[in-house]
Homo-oligomer: A and B are copies of this chain.
Amino acid sequence: MRVIIIGGVAGGMSAATRLRRLDENAHIIVLERTGHVSFANCGLPYHVGGVIPERSSLLLQTPQSLAARFRLDVRVATEATRIDRENKVVHVRNLATGATEELPYDKVILSPGARPVRPPILGIERALTLRDIEDTDAMVAAVRGQKTAVVIGGGFIGIEVAENLVHQGLEVALIEALPQVMAPLDPEMAAPVHDALRKGGVDLHLGSGVTAIGEATVTLADGTELPADVVVAAIGVRPDITLAAEAGLTVGERGGIAVDANHLTNDPDIYAVGDAVEKIDALDGSATLVPLANTANLAGRRVADHIAGLPTSNRPVLGTAIVKVFDLTVAATGANEKRLQASGRPYRAIHTHPASHAGYYPGAEGMALKLLVDPETDAILGAQGVGGEGVDKRIDVIATAITGGLRASDLAELELAYAPPYGSAKDAVNMLGHVADNLRSGVTRSIQWHELDAAVAGGATVIDVRTPGEFAAGSIPGARLVPVDELRDRVDELPEGLLVVHCAVGIRGHTAVRILAQLGRDAVNLDGGYKTWAAGRDSRD
């Protein structure tokens, strides 16, 4: 059996090593256009920043090491230029010598990845992108001795590159055409990320695209001109479908290679995985693009299984993702509120602001969590977390709960490992479950930060149940202060009609709503309290 794998990094090389373990006799050829295989794409920005000082740390394997251990025929600087499906040969070109060759195959695995998007901006030729080792070498060289940089695009890679250029001592501006960075986040969750970037020294420009790249400057739509010795384009990536499309393989509506339940394209001898393919969205089964390493590696392994005759399937994806933004951790899984709103799908949103571990044990760090729940089935639709230590843990737990089919209320009952340095007796994830359970059972009601103005316009009164000190330090315009501990005695002071109660994060507000409801009042809790409201307000500035 001759198997040709096109693309020698995450998806491709995972398929190759697994296939060798399953089939000692297969002839496995791995074609890679760049000069390196099996490198750590995800580490590239950190090498630019000097956080990963050794370039060699990024090179996990070499053609030699892969030949020795896995008898793989790995050819770097070798491009697959055409798949001739009729004759079952792949045309290749050695990029060093220019020599071409035709390689017969029984099976092809396509894992060609994605290409950075280069928008048609005047002067874009000067912009660097970051995808492989060669790009990294070029960026390291380009940055040396320079003073200013403009990074275009506030996604994962743009943010990582911006932070790392700051580490190298450059003055860095980050430009995002949308009003927020990090598309997987909802606006109020992105607000602390904006703060972290600014605090880290990044000159953040939101809601204004780049109109031109000059010789030493970048011009924004709002007229701002920024100094730019270095320009990096990190606007996103697009599936690399060149080969596939030319070979007549089906490309889906999202622009990725279409594959079936076994990762097969419309050609029964050609598989495709990784950034280049469309995945099945776990929320609604629609086609989606999820250019992440976990997805690519796992799918590569599954394709090897299928070739070797083991059962496997193309699993729907949640798109669990994470990024470090200076001292902040930002993570998300599943659907966000923006998407649910756009699709008209009903949902419930829950915001909390727990500590990473018991407050009485030193070093606890704060975080903001958001949970999205299906109000009919109580299914968990998605989650977001922004903060210090332990955000990754909570998002991983929730991603696992979604995969296990746990309901939002079930989170209340998870037995998570508790000792003071690690969590709380009722962990942050348990608390999300309690709140979900209270909303599901009707024990409480809440409204969202973005619904407050409409509620007030409709006659609602905002009651701030915090302390006078907290109130003085910043409050919602028009709110009346009645500390929760005085609420029972002062309830007669409150007007009739809807009362929107809030505290700092929602906990005292919850108790206050219960008191008021039992006293016959119409009360709702402002979800996430003042903190979420303020983050939402900041996101609109």
Chain A residues within 8 Å of B, Cβ to Cβ: 10, 14, 20-25, 40, 42-43, 46, 51-52, 57-58, 60, 68-71, 156, 292-298, 301, 310, 315, 317-324, 329, 331, 333, 358, 360-362, 392-393, 395-397, 399-401, 403-406, 410, 412-423, 425-427, 430, 434, 441, 443, 484-485, 488, 508, 510-511, 514-515, 518-519
Contacts and interface: CB of A to CB of B under 8 A. Distances in A.
B320 A43 contact: no
A413 B293 contact: no
A42 B42 CA distance: 39
Contact of A52 (B310, B360, B404, B405): B360
Nearest to A401: B400
B430 A417 contact: no
A492 to B, nearest CB: 16
A172 to B, nearest CB: 19
A360 B58 contact: yes
A355 to B, nearest CB: 13
30 contacts: A14-B426, A21-B514, A24-B514, A24-B519, A40-B358, A40-B420, A42-B418, A43-B358, A43-B360, A46-B361, A68-B485, A69-B484, A292-B418, A294-B430, A295-B415, A296-B425, A298-B412, A310-B443, A315-B413, A320-B415, A321-B419, A322-B422, A331-B417, A396-B397, A396-B414, A397-B400, A400-B401, A400-B406, A401-B403, A401-B404
A323 B422 CA distance: 9
Contacts of A418: 42, 292-294, 320-322
Contacts of A319: 415
A417 B395 contact: yes
Contacts of A511: 20-21, 69-70
B415 A317 contact: yes
Given A52-B361, A395-B417, 4 more contacts: A51-B362, A297-B425, A317-B415, A393-B396
A147 B297 CA distance: 55
Contacts of A358: 40, 42-43
A331 to B, nearest CB: 5
Contact of A404 (B320, B321, B406, B426): B406
Contacts of A58: 360
A421 to B, nearest CB: 5
